[in-house]
Amino acid sequence: MVKEKIVAGEDLTNREFIGTILPAKDTVHQGKYKVNVPELQPHMKETTGIWCKNHTCRHRVSPSRVGVSGSYYPLQAGMSVIVKFFANHIESAYIDRVISDAYSETLPYEIIERDDYYQIIRTPRYNNLIAIYEGPPPIDPETKLEQPWTKDNSQPSKNVPRNSMHIYFNDTRTTVVIDETGINVKTLDNINITVSKNVKISVAGTADIKVTGNTNIETSADMNLKAAGKVNIQSGGDANIKAGGNANIEASGNVNMKGSVVSIEASGVMNLKAGGAINMQGSVISQNGTAAAAGAAGDAASAALADAPILINPLTDYEYFTKSSGK
């Protein structure tokens, strides 16, 4: 096949030319690229080119009466492109499209079926990527022919789940994958969520939260914790509960407190009340405090007793048992 040549006086607007983008920068930032076009520059160096506007996206960013809108995709040095012309002079050149190719390095992590993998956008510097992968069609093991595709019989790839949408930031530093298992988020950095109004999270199954560092929950209003079953709070170290107002513990069943040392302290009045018996058992049980007056004239014995600690001689475990059981 004889290559078509450009003849003098030929209209450039009817032709397409293959070119390669050069690394020269557009100093006026108008979205132009210097392109080496061998067919137009047969005797020029490969580092020489003509300036072309970037029209690979038809809806370019443009001002309007209601504001600026549109889309723009930057090109990179070394890309193969098709160059066309608005008019019959060299200054009217524009890049019409990028020549597509199926190089393996344009696919993620492994070579997968090109026609089942949609790259929405991909950047070269940090390898940020938005893509959709539907999975290859199934192959009949006997006939070796492709079968009609369904999400149930397509073959998954090794690293990219079938029927999935992907967002990769900084290669794989932060990834978001939406597939048939749900929404999967993984990041090497922080996740910050700021909401001016309400947040509602409903989970039909189990919700597991695991933190290797501190967990801080703070609210300027009330905090309510409610469970239809048991509520278990366990600490490997100290457990501190502090309230600026009243602290109420109420149960329809038993309330049990157990520890090597249990201290209950109040800066004001402490009331101990039970609908049944109150049993205290220990090697030594002491009471310190000030007794109230027994009557209008007072009770000197009670007052004197209140100024000194009251020691209760406890029963032994055996004595306590026999007394309680009536034996």
Q: With 70 as the cut, is the pLDDT of residue 43 above it?
A: yes
- What is the per-residue pLDDT for 265? 80
DSSP calls for 257-317: ---SS-----SS------SS------S-EEE---PPPSSSS--HHHHHHHTSPEEE-PPPH
User: Dihedral, CA atoms, 123, 129, 130, 135, nearest 10 degrees?
Assistant: 130
**Per-residue pLDDT at 298:** 47
pLDDT of residue 170: 93
Give pLDDT, residue 296: 46
Q: How confident is the model at residue 156 (pLDDT cuts 50, 70, 90)?
A: low
Q: Which of 157, 147, 179 lies closest to 112 in space, CA to CA?
A: 157
**Phi and psi, residue 84, nearest 5°:** -130, 180
DSSP E strands, 2-77: 17-21, 32-36, 50-54
Question: What is the rounded average pLDDT for all residues in the chain?
Answer: 80
* For residue 185, pLDDT beyond 70: yes
pLDDT band at 78 (very low <50, low <70, confident <90, very high): very high
Mean of pLDDT values over 46-66: 92
CA 39 – CA 304 distance, rounded (Å)? 116
Mean of the pLDDT values across residues 167-185? 92
Number of helices (H) and strands (E) in the chain: give both, helices first. Answer: 2, 12
Find out whether 75 and 54 touch, Cβ atoms under 8 Å: yes
Question: What's the mean pLDDT in 94-122?
Answer: 79
Question: What was the pLDDT predicted at 4?
Answer: 46
Pull the structure tokens for residue 17: 């030319």
Q: Check residue 310 and give its pLDDT.
A: 47
Query: What is the mean pLDDT of the segment spanning 6-30?
Result: 85
Q: Is the pLDDT of residue 148 over 80?
A: no
pLDDT of 168 higher than 80: yes
Residue 137 contacts by C-beta under 8 Å, 6 or more apart in sequence? 116, 146, 147, 148, 149, 154
78-87, 129-138, 225-234, range with the lowest pLDDT = 129-138
pLDDT (0 to 100) of residue 294? 44
DSSP element (H, E) containing 138:
none
Cα-to-chain-centroid distance, residue 172: 13
What confidence category does residue 137 fall into, taking pLDDT thresholds of 50, 70 and 90?
low
Specify the pTM: 0.66
Higher pLDDT, 100 or 125: 125
The model's pLDDT over 191-231, given as tens digits with 9 standing for 90+, comes to 999 999 999 999 998 999 988 888 888 888 888 888 888 88
Count CB atoms within 10 A of the CB of residue 249.
7
Delineate the domains of the chain, giving CATH numbers in brackets: 12-62+69-98 (2.40.50.260), 104-187 (no CATH)
- pLDDT reported for residue 327: 62
Summarize the confidence of residues 36-44 as an average pLDDT.
Answer: 88
List, for residues 259-318, the tens digit of each pLDDT value.
788 888 877 787 777 777 777 777 666 666 554 444 444 455 444 444 545 444 555 666
pLDDT of amino acid 251? 82
